[in-house]
Amino acid sequence: MKGSNAIKGSVVVITGGSSGIGLATAEAFARRGARLVLAARQEDALAEAARACEALGAEALAVPTDVTDEAAVEALAQAAVARFGRIDVWINNAALLLFGTLLETPTAAWKRVVETNLYGYLHGARAALPVFLAQGRGILINNVSGWGLVGAPLASSYVSSKFALLGLSECLRLELARFPDIHVCSVLPPSVDTPIYERAGNLTGHEIGPIPPVSSANDVAEVLVDLAKRPRPRRAIGVAGAFLYILSRLSPALSASLMGSLTHRFSIRAQPATPTLGNLFEPKEPHAKSGGFGRLGVRRGGRGTLY
């Protein structure tokens, strides 16, 4: 899709569409007249997201989906085609986050993150690409994260899944190179203000939060809309995202050292917190675009004070 009017009438599937980046992206596409198919685990929150899109004038279909279930993701694609006749853009966005040392983290919890953040995206690709090939066109966008470029302490499951996801995106792009109208895009946002930190698994004993500067979910949504109009292989977001992308390519050792320092300094907060597996195995509130963090990564109301 190219041009300013390319989004109007297009069919866009978004996983993780009930909150955070997914909800912001759904609303951004809705405002431009896209037809939306939203997927997430919690049916009530997903229906609310669909209603928000309809209030903006869009058609929206809510399909409760756990992306770790390949059959469910295939059913999601079938529902989109049955309702709208095609799929123009598929955005793999659903993600889980878990903080804790490798030795403190139960194997089942570590695997659950990878099953969602990597295998969930694999399932999305396997569902969307046959539709794209039959149509001769389509755009697959994978929300990779800046942590797909550089390691971070205490987040090994998330970082490992995102490293692998970036590799998957690169491989798919090469496999599909002979199809010029089928695109695979990787978006690499830095820290984003979403509820993911409040819902994350956290075994550190402290509150957790994003590394500043923090982008808004709406910032990321606008980039995803732009990729749907002008696809490109990789897209960093904001000054922080661009800096991390360039530094990781120029000096992997320096970028790793910097990320290690920033994670300990900013992601792990001073306040104590009870260990939890968060929403890894069951969806949890809140379902909103924002997690309440300002651009400097501090929660409104004084919670989550940095060390």
Whether 119 sits among the annotated catalytic residues: the reply is no
Residue 203: count other Cβ atoms within 10 Å of its Cβ.
18
Spatial separation of the C-alpha atoms in residues 267 and 58, rounded to whole Å: 37
Q: Judge whether 29 and 225 are in contact, CB under 8 Å.
A: yes
Active-site residue, from 158, 197, 245, 307: 158
The rounded Cα 72 to chain-centroid distance in angstroms is 19
- H-state helical runs in 32-91: 43-55, 70-84
Task: Identify the sign of the CA torsion 231, 237, 242, 248.
Answer: negative
Q: For residue 57, which amino acid is it?
A: G
Spatial separation of the C-alpha atoms in residues 217 and 213, rounded to whole Å: 13
Q: Which of 55, 144, 136 is nearest to 91 (CA)?
A: 144
DSSP conformation letters of 212-281: SS-EEHHHHHHHHHHHHHS--SEEE-HHHHHHHHHHHHH-HHHHHHHHHHHIIIIIEEEEE---B-TTSS
Q: For residue 143, which amino acid is it?
A: N
Residues catalogued as catalytic: 158
